[in-house]
Amino acid sequence: MATMERKPNKYVVAALAVVHVAVVALTWRDIRSRPPEQIRGAKKFWLVVSALNMGNAAIYWLVGRRRSPGGKEA
């Protein structure tokens, strides 16, 4: 039986690209605005890694940021 190849819907790909750019832009803005003491690891590391895919940006938001004293975000 022949397998049929499906091409991805160009609108879905475009929407995912827009979401990826938005997530990376918000992540980079947060990284640049935070002092190095509030980030686990080097800022350059997180800038590069977060640009690769949205999952890495999510890892930054969950793991890469340190909580400011008192439990409130800066």
* pLDDT of 5: 82
Does 10 map to a domain?
A: no
- For 34, the domain range is 17-64
Residue 7 lies in a domain: no
> What is the Cα–Cα distance from 33 to 36, expressed in whole angstroms?
9
Q: Considering the domain boundaries, does residue 46 fall inside one?
A: yes
- Identify whether 50 is part of a domain: yes
Tell me whether residue 47 is in a domain: yes
Q: Please state the separation of Cα 54 from the chain's center in Å.
A: 5
Query: Model's pTM, two decimal places?
Result: 0.76
**Helix axis angle, 10-33 relative to 43-52, nearest 10°?**
170
Position 2 scores a pLDDT of 61
pLDDT for 6: 83
Domain assignment present for residue 1? The answer is no
What per-residue confidence (pLDDT) applies to 8?
A: 83
Number of domains in the chain: 1
pLDDT means per 10 residues, the chain with 74 residues, are 78 94 96 95 96 93 83 55
Q: In whole angstroms, what is the distance from residue 54 CA to residue 24 CA?
A: 7
